[in-house]
Amino acid sequence: MQSEQATQQSIGWLVSGLVLGLLGVLASVITPSWEGAGDSGVVAVVNDTAITRAKYLSYLEALATDKKDPIGTEDSQYVLQRIIEEELLVQRGVEVGLLESDKRTRAALVNGMISMTTTAAEARAPSEKELAEFFQENIDYFTPTARLRARQLVVRGEDAEQRAGEAYRLLVAGERFQTVESEFGTPVALIVPDSLLPPAKLREYLGPTLTQMLLEQPAGFVTEPQPMTKGFRIVLLLDKEVGQAPALGDVRQQLEAEYVRRSGDRALREYLEWLKDRADISYPSELPL
């Protein structure tokens, strides 16, 4: 039973370490572990690839965490052999083209590299000065969006364009919406709620073009008749509530989270640009359309 359990544990070490090892291979290409390590920093060499003392100790520490008894010589040898076997599998995986042929391995490797690139940037907490500057530079991002209250008048039937034009002139002149609607309007199934709505919600009723138009206008604005299926529509902006910029302290948690996220994005973008600059990239032919 113990032998079977040990075998399963060994297999688990090898399988779980394969993708991580592939990531290590790629990372070693960027910053080789062998150069400058010295004999004191290496516990084994597998086909010219160094197994560093730091890596060995990290694996040993992981085993010690799961093990009740103190770590002994046998455990140390066990860990070292598992690392060597993992490295052999990784090297063989690269040799047979696993990175090119297996999508899951490539995805895990890409995700691992992204994490490795962004972790340092995301781990550093911004100073008060950096946070204040970031807040001022992105004040619009943290300001709530405006909310709009609008009514829609749909005109269909004979002479729809002429009747819509007359309705528009009356609304611009200040005539009550209900009065104009009762004379010129056509009932519709989708009625705009008579309440203040965020732009995202209003788009569901009016579409992006009309909603953006209303966002740029003051309350009381009336759109010119807009062509639609079998008729025209006019929108009246009854009320507009402009979002007020918050105080830094009121959005501090959100502000710090966004600062950290963008720091990681920036670090990744700079790293990708560095990789492109050092790479030999060519485009032998035009992309197929």
Given a cut of 70, whether residue 8 has pLDDT beyond it is no
Residues 59-85, mean pLDDT to the nearest whole number: 84
For residue 188, being part of any structural domain is answered with yes
Whether residue 159 lies inside any domain: the answer is yes
**Same domain, residue pair 13 and 91:** yes
Both 78 and 157 in one domain: the answer is no
Same domain membership, residue 119 and residue 6: yes
CA separation for the pair 202, 150 (Å, rounded): 9
In a domain, 281, yes or no: no
Per-residue pLDDT averaged across 83-93, rounded? 88
Domain range for 62: 2-123
In the chain, the percentage of residues whose pLDDT exceeds 70 is: 85
Q: What angle do CA 91, 94, 97 make, to 5 degrees?
A: 150
Domain boundary among 74, 89, 123: 123
Residue 16: how many CB atoms within 10 A of its CB? Answer: 11
230 versus 1: which is more confidently predicted?
A: 230
The yes-or-no verdict on residue 265 having pLDDT over 50 is yes
Helices then strands, each counted (H, E), the chain: 11, 5
Identify the sign of the CA torsion 249, 250, 256, 259: negative
> Is residue 7 situated within a structural domain?
yes
Pick from 51, 41, 34, 57: nearest CA to 87: 51
| Angle value at C-alpha 229, between 227 and 234, nearest 5 degrees | 40
Q: Of 36 and 54, which is predicted with more confidence?
A: 54
pLDDT tens-digit profile of 159-194?
999 999 999 999 999 999 999 999 999 988 888 999
Q: Given pLDDT bands bounded at 50, 70 and 90, which one contains residue 24?
A: low
Listed range (31-45, 98-112, 170-184) with the worst mean pLDDT: 31-45
pLDDT at site 258 = 94
Do 59 and 108 belong to one domain?
yes
Average pLDDT, integer, range 93-120: 87
Mean pLDDT of 234-246: 91
For 136-160, what is the mean pLDDT? Answer: 91
Q: Quick one: which H or E segment has residue 112?
A: helix 103-123
pLDDT at 201: 93
Give domain status of residue 133, yes or no: no
In a domain, 50, yes or no: yes
Q: What's the average model confidence in pLDDT over 6-20?
A: 48
State pLDDT tens for residues 196-212. 999 999 999 999 999 99
The helix or strand, by DSSP H or E, that contains position 153, with its residue range, turns out to be strand 147-156
Q: Is residue 213 domain-resident? A: yes
pLDDT for res 35: 40
Q: What's the CATH number where 189 sits?
A: 3.10.50.40
Q: If DSSP codes are grouped into helix, strand and coil, which group holds residue 78? A: helix
Structural domain total, the chain: 2
